[in-house]
Amino acid sequence: MECGLLGEKLGHSYSPAIHKFLGNYTYSLYEKKPEELEDFLKNGSFSGLNVTIPYKKAVIPYCAALTPVAQQLGAVNTIVRKQDGTLIGHNTDYFGFSAMVKRSGLCLFGKKALVLGSGGASNTAVAVLKQLGMTTIVISRSGENNYHNLHRHTDAALIVNATPVGMYPNCGSSPVSLDYFSNLEGVLDLIYNPARTQLLMEAEARGLAAENGLWMLVAQAKESAEWFTGRHIPNEIISVIYRQLRQTMENIVLIGMPGCGKTTIGKLLAEKTGRDFFDTDSVIEHSAGMSIPKIFATKGENVFRSLETNAISQLGKRSGVVIATGGGCVTREENYSLLHQNGILIWLEREIDSLPILGRPLSQPGKLAQMYASRKPLYEKFADYVLSNNGAPEKTAFRILEKLEVSI
């Protein structure tokens, strides 16, 4: 059976990895230009398709029939070819978004939701939320309700981001500030790369429910696979696939005092998991064309810290890599979200007497204890986990993998 994803530009899609778990069919990426669409849909050898931007509406005229959900939303994200060759259009985004809302655990009946954006995903979100008994307001750049009159909706309990704002590679931007919304209970962002958009990190920092779009992506794929294969797939598979993908995509980020073993442990972790390894100090030295001590001596610490934030901003956007940071990266608050957007931060603790000082500009005798005292609260603030690295590096690496439940 041949299935796949149809779109114009597919880049690095997660769909093949998801469908590997879902059925015994091949799953290809079909990148087609608009002028190739008709021939592909009429003569392509596929039995089932997922459809993404910009073809969810364009494929409708080629379908002999639509399911009621696809009809209601005016969008098709799944196509199945029947025995007689005709195409049936489905919409599994509805199930996907419903599953995402359910996962959030939010109790939404009778409350107000703001749905940002007015495209296809927004239509789906509005239909699901209305069905759950919410009042929905679409915020559109050109609509009556827009980003200049958000103060009309300070009573919103839920914000759904159905725009591409904050999506890789334009990480760090956010469609709205949460400052306006005193009744807010949760934020759902349909974006899944990065794992935590700026908007989700803002929600997280306020202790609100915050979900990215990965659960939706997996759930819609599960329902698509049911249509492709004609067999029921239990919902439990969604969490299995989600956990696996989440783990593969998450960066492992090591923080801690200079000389605590971040590079050694980082290389070991990369070796054991087959991930790429990056050391922010090496990236800085490479881009500046000089050693760290020389940068400190000729340009000063402030310039070094800016170079470091630049390096972190590039590395933090990546997925599924190991990153060893410089000991002082925690002194700039903005480095936290750059590292956290796709990463789990592990603080490697090592006894001060064991920390090396040679070639380390800020670790000179007598200063280490003082430095540790001032940085400890910052490491605590940045860290998701703390692990001691006083024994054998191999042991520390295994304990990290165990903690993160990363399979090797």
Enumerate binding residues for ligand NAP (CB under 6 A): 53, 93, 96, 117-122, 140-143, 162-165, 167, 175, 190-192, 213, 216-217, 220
| Angle formed at CA 309 by CA 303 and CA 311, multiple of 5 degrees | 105
Count how many Cα atoms sit within 13 Å of the Cα of residue 185 in the half-sphere of its side chain.
14
Residue nearest to ligand NAP (CB): 119
**Whole-angstrom Cα distance, residue 69 to residue 123?**
12
| Angle formed at CA 83 by CA 41 and CA 92, multiple of 5 degrees | 60
Please identify, using beta-carbon distances, which residue of 74 and 300 lies nearer to ligand NAP. Answer: 74
Q: Helix, strand, or coil here: 339? A: helix
CB of 147 to ligand NAP, least distance (A): 8
Angle (deg, nearest 10), helices 292-299 and 280-288: 60
Q: Is 32 a catalytic residue?
A: no
**Whole-angstrom Cα distance, residue 13 to residue 38?**
23
CB of 5 to ligand NAP, least distance (A): 12
CB of 186 to ligand NAP, least distance (A): 16
Contact 278, 324 (CB under 8 A): yes
Please identify, using beta-carbon distances, which residue of 140 and 248 lies nearer to ligand NAP. Answer: 140
CB of 149 to ligand NAP, least distance (A): 14
Strand partners, 31: 7
Please identify, using beta-carbon distances, which residue of 142 and 182 lies nearer to ligand NAP. Answer: 142
CB of 112 to ligand NAP, least distance (A): 19
Active-site residue, from 20, 56, 111, 130: 56
| Angle formed at CA 205 by CA 200 and CA 208, multiple of 5 degrees | 70
Residue 199 phi, psi (nearest 5): -60, -45
CB of 156 to ligand NAP, least distance (A): 17
Burial-class residue 150 by CB neighbours within 10 Å (0-12, 13-18, 19+): buried
Contact 139, 147 (CB under 8 A): yes
**Whole-angstrom Cα distance, residue 263 to residue 265?**
6
* Terminal alpha carbon distance of the chain: 31
Please identify, using beta-carbon distances, which residue of 175 and 266 lies nearer to ligand NAP. Answer: 175
Please identify, using beta-carbon distances, which residue of 70 and 348 lies nearer to ligand NAP. Answer: 70
Please identify, using beta-carbon distances, which residue of 146 and 183 lies nearer to ligand NAP. Answer: 146
Question: What is the set of active-site residues?
Answer: 56
